[in-house]
Structure 1
Amino acid sequence: MDERIRVAFLNALKVKLKKTDLPILINVFWGEYVIPCTPEGSPIDIKQSSFKGVRKFLEGMEEKKVVRVEEPSPGVHQIVSFDKSVQEVSRHKVDQAIRDQIAASSSSSSSSAKEVTNTAAPPLSASSYTTSASPDEKKSLVVELFGAPQSLQPLFLELGHEKRHLYTKKEVVDHLWAYASKHKLGNKGNCKLDELLAKALFKKGQEPPEELPKKDLADLFLSKMTNFHEVNRGGLSDIRKGPVKPVVITLEQRQGGRKHVTRITGLESFAVPAKELADELRQQCAASTSVKKIEGKVGGEEVMVQGLAVRQAGDHLVKKYEVPRKYIQNVDKSKAKKKGK
């Protein structure tokens, strides 16, 4: 499988990817460039390879100076340059069957790639982080995850975990109690603090208590972990650093209060395709809609609906795109403070 992936990647680099396509999100590159360059009868599956993820594979190619990948914002990776003069690329020969295959689909593939890049939400991509989230948790659109900061890594390493492993809230607490049990720190409803816990949980100069109630210790321990979250959509998943950011639906007045406009931002947090949402709301609200990129925000797009559409937009995001209601924030900037329909 590793060799199949390498061949498909080199095929894409030699005959399909162009300088004008850069920068390109790694999952757009993989889906629209590498997969179509796979020899017929030799399908590839990155998860069945030793790499386990696209980002991990590309890290190896970065080491060989074949490509350069940047992370303009947490969890968003894009190829910004490539070098065909590197020996591994220059010596690679692309089968004529692949060239014919690409030539036959080049026009449709090209337009499709541009549509995904320009109008869709940021494609979900593989990550170099690992998780042990259950299949049921993977079915959720968003899974809150936690990473161990340097001060707490010794605890997790002692329990046999890797540095770049991420945990669900339950796993974090379970590992805390496993560590406490191993070191015999439990004391009925309280838990003693050993040197590692005391240093990690309290700042220099603070006097840590000898023990804490278990609930207080668990809450404090979680607060010291680094926030991540995983977004799952369409069979793909993307792990992003930081807490989950909400979708914001803002109602504004126009023309002295005679007209209103509804703005929807933050769709990239849940991989909601902005153009698709705009088309659907145009039909539902019988109003004109538009999509524009948010300057300075990678993958960020805003959907604007002419008129009062706060309620319709929120309901549609919940029903169609399964965005949890708690992650939808309504902001009323209209002077009249009218409720969105």
Structure 2
Amino acid sequence: MFSKPFRVKSNTVIKGSDRRKLKADISAAFPSLCADELSELIPNKEELNVVKIYAHKGDAVTLYVLHKNPLFFEVEKRLHPTVYVLWRYPALLPTFKTWSPVLQKLIGGADLMLPGVVVPSSGLPHVKQGDSCAVTSVNNIAPVAVGTAAVSSAEMHSLGMKGRGVCVIHTYMDSLWAFGDKSGPPSLPDTESKAQGENGEECKSEEEEEEEGDKCVEEEENPGKSVTDQIWSGTEALSLAEQEEEKDEKGNEEEEENHDDQRTPQEIMDTLLVQCFLHALKSKVKKSDLPLLTSTFLRNHMFSCCPTGKQLDIKKSSYKKLSKFLQAMQQQHNLVRVKELTKGVESIVEVDWKNPELRFFTVPEETDDDEAAPVQHGGEGETLYHPPEITTLYSVSARLESLFLDANKRKGTILQPAEVRGIITEYVKKNELVDEINKNYVTINPTLCDCLLEKSEYHEVESLKWDDLFSRTMGRMQECYEVVYPGQRPIIKKGHIEPIDISVASRGSNKKVTLIKNLEVYQLDPASVATALQHRVQASSVLQPIPGAKDKVLVQIQGNQIHKVGSLLLDHYQIPRKYIQGLDKALKGGKKK
């Protein structure tokens, strides 16, 4: 959950009544804590902050912070301790032991698989599915991960210790840990392991345990070994066959990902910033462009050099501001010279084209930035987006059931519009209700009267036109819709399909922003759409959760960009215009405001 940076919504000091409620909640969730320990964790007279954040996937999380260290975090009204608390009270949660090399996988965002669990002589801790638990190493009982049990202890044994054991939520060295003082885990030796050594049983040294853990990782890649299920992934466990098949192709990519996992998000953003900077200087900027406004350089050149699937955000780097970054490039690397030609406005006035860093920089192979098709989930080798086929359907309602009985269509039966018209036509002909004088009219019999007419029309309306008959019938049925994506089974849902909603809102200082909602309904990845828009309009974009809408986020991009958004959705993603709402609010000519 915290493997990527999160966004802070608010940070306030907790009130006295809320502090008491928090104490009661912690006491109920963790009954092993005594009154003194509880008072030590939540002191009465020291400042305790409540920080509301949004995780990178949009989950709303509440943090309780003391002395700048997050103590507990609340997700979906459930409290979990952080590693900072568990280092003080390591017995607070049931713990699962694993090898040290496995911990590196967990820190990288993986779940703990059962083959990687070291079963002590006392047996596995007693947990039920969904219970909070911690993960430690065989050498140190200081927990380094917090999660929930994927299955109960009994099921772990019945599954033969295969499959997922702990769904990891928070780990040492993730973004939540980095929100605190970034201290490391204390050294807390495993007393049980020591006891085994004293009793004459085999007790391995730290180096031997390290070797055992390395073997554990090696064996997960060898199908002939006994521990074939020890396969960890950041989001899911891959089968052994799949991993063997993809190992050669993705070996280099996995090494890069593991290297990224060891760096902080800030360091990763710094690297991306330098890459885009060098890329822009080498392939976008010419001598004739100088002097070049720094803001124009960022907007028109650096943003367009950002790799597909990534988002350049200077605020998330260690520099925080473009001016500080360019100053570092000037003073430390002598790549550019920046000068204030107009008061308060900086420009790049000189570029050292012979600088070794610039000369030997290799431009990454990318498709055309503006027209590059963002893949659905950013994965390698995925097919391009194809719009769904959407069909309006109708469900037989209780009021109309008698009208459809002859066709054996009961309440709740879902029909195509053509089927509805066919059944009604057959009913009219079977009951000889076509008007003999004017065949464009249908005579109303008692069944049609009860199903289609209002009470005020009972004694006034004796016949209806065919079109009116069909429209009244469908108007009294439950509307549904069927969505079909290429290669997938049809999805049928009741009600109207939500259109993609595009709107313009005002923020501070009357700045305009464009908001896009309901992309998920059409299986569009908001992050991919945001990146594509950022490249097209050269403006920053962010993802924000929609209150009350689970698993949905909206894309916010600076300025009135409705014209560009409409062009992307209509031309690139080929979404039909009738499923896009708000295109009429675009500025004339598609200009920014």
For the aligned pair, the TM-score class normalised by the smaller chain equals 0.5 to 0.7
2:207 pairs with 1:207: no
Q: Which has the greater radius of gyration?
A: 2
Tell me if 1:146 matches 2:146: no
Q: Please show how residues 55-66 of structure 1 align to structure 2 within 5 Å.
A: none
SS of 2:236 mapped into structure 1:
helix
Q: How does 1:300-339 map to 2 (within 5 A)?
A: 300-330=552-582
Matches within 5 A, 1:30-41: none
TM-score, scaled to structure 2? 0.35
For 1:153 and 1:191, the matched residues in 2 are separated by 19
Q: Which amino acid aligns with 1:210?
A: E
1:238 aligns with 2:498: no
Q: In the aligned structure 2, how far is the partner of 1:331 from the partner of 1:317? A: 11
> In 2 relative to 1, CA 322–175 (structure 1 residues): closer, same or farther, beyond 3 Å?
farther
Question: Structure 1 CA distance, aligned partners of 2:410 and 2:159?
Answer: 39
Tell me which residue corresponds to 2:112.
Answer: none
Report what 1:77 is aligned to. none
Q: Output the CA distance in 2 between the equivalents of 1:109 and 1:261.
A: 36
Aligned-residue sequence identity (percent) comes to 26
**1:256-283 Cα deviation digits (max 9, x unpaired):** 45x4311111223323221221122122
| Partners of 1:101 and 1:162 in 2: CA distance | 53
**Structure holding more helix per residue:** 1
Q: Answer whether contact 2:231 2:237 (CA < 8 A) is retained.
A: no
Could you tell me which residue of structure 1 aligns to residue 19 of structure 2? none
Q: Which structure is richer in relative contact order (CA contacts within 8 A, separation 6 or more)?
A: 1
Instruction: Give the counterpart of 2:502 among 235, 249, 256.
Output: 249
Identify if the C-alpha distance between structure 1 residues 185 and 93 changes in structure 2 by more than 3 Å, giving closer, same or farther.
Answer: farther
Match of 1:161 in 2: 409
Q: Which residue of 2 aligns with 1:109?
A: 236
Distance 2:543 2:589 in 1: 23
Call closer, same or farther: CA 1:333–1:232 in 2, change over 3 Å.
Answer: same
Shift, 1:102, TM fit: 6.0
Three-state SS of the structure 2 residue aligned to 1:268 is: helix
RMSD: 3.8
1:238: how far off?
2.3
Kept in 2: contact 1:253–1:261 (CA 8 A): yes
Cα distance, 1:340 vs structure 2: 4.0
Query: Any conservation in 2 of the 1:231–1:271 contact (CA below 8 Å)?
Result: no
Pairing of 1:2-151 with structure 2 (within 5 A)? 94=159, 103-109=230-236, 140-151=388-399
Separation (CA, whole Å) in 1 of partners of 2:396 and 2:507:
48
Match of 1:180 in 2: 428
Query: How far does residue 304 in structure 1 lie from its aligned partner after superposition?
Result: 0.7
| 1:312 aligned partner, one-letter code | K
Larger mean CA deviation between 90-99 and 217-226 belongs to 90-99
Gaps of 5+ in 1: 1-19, 23-82, 112-119, 122-138
Q: Indicate how the Cα distance of structure 1 residues 231 and 299 shifts in structure 2: closer, same or farther if over 3 A, else same.
A: farther
Per-residue CA shift, 1:61-119, capped at 9, x if unaligned?
xxxxxxxxxxxxxxxxxxxxxx979xxx97995477767776424544179xxxxxxxx
For 1:92 and 1:190, how far apart are their aligned partners in 2? 73
- Cα drift, residue 228 of structure 1: 1.1
Distance 2:556 2:398 in 1: 43
The change in CA–CA distance for 1:104 and 1:253 in structure 2 (over 3 A counts) is same
Q: Which residue of the partner structure matches residue 379 of structure 2? A: none
What is the deviation of 1:178? Answer: 1.7
- Matched to 1:192, the amino acid is T
Task: Give the deviation of 1:301 after TM superposition.
Answer: 1.8
For 2:156 and 2:431, locate their aligned partners in 1 and report how far apart those are by CA, in whole Å: 57
Which one-letter code corresponds to 2:462 in the other structure? Answer: E
Instruction: Look up the match of 2:217.
Output: none
**Aligned to 1:109, what secondary structure does the other structure show?**
coil
Structure 1 stretch displaced more, 288-297 or 97-106: 97-106
SS in 1 for 2:582: strand
Cα 1:148–1:318 change in 2 (3 A) is same
CA contact (8 A) 1:252 1:332 kept: no
SS in 2 for 1:161: coil
Aligned residue pairs total 233
Q: Which residue of structure 2 aligns with residue 196 of structure 1?
A: 447
**What TM-score do you get using the length of structure 1 for normalisation?**
0.57
* Deviations 1:279-298, CA, capped at 9 Å, x for gaps: 22122222211111110123
Distance 1:308 1:184, change over 3 A: same
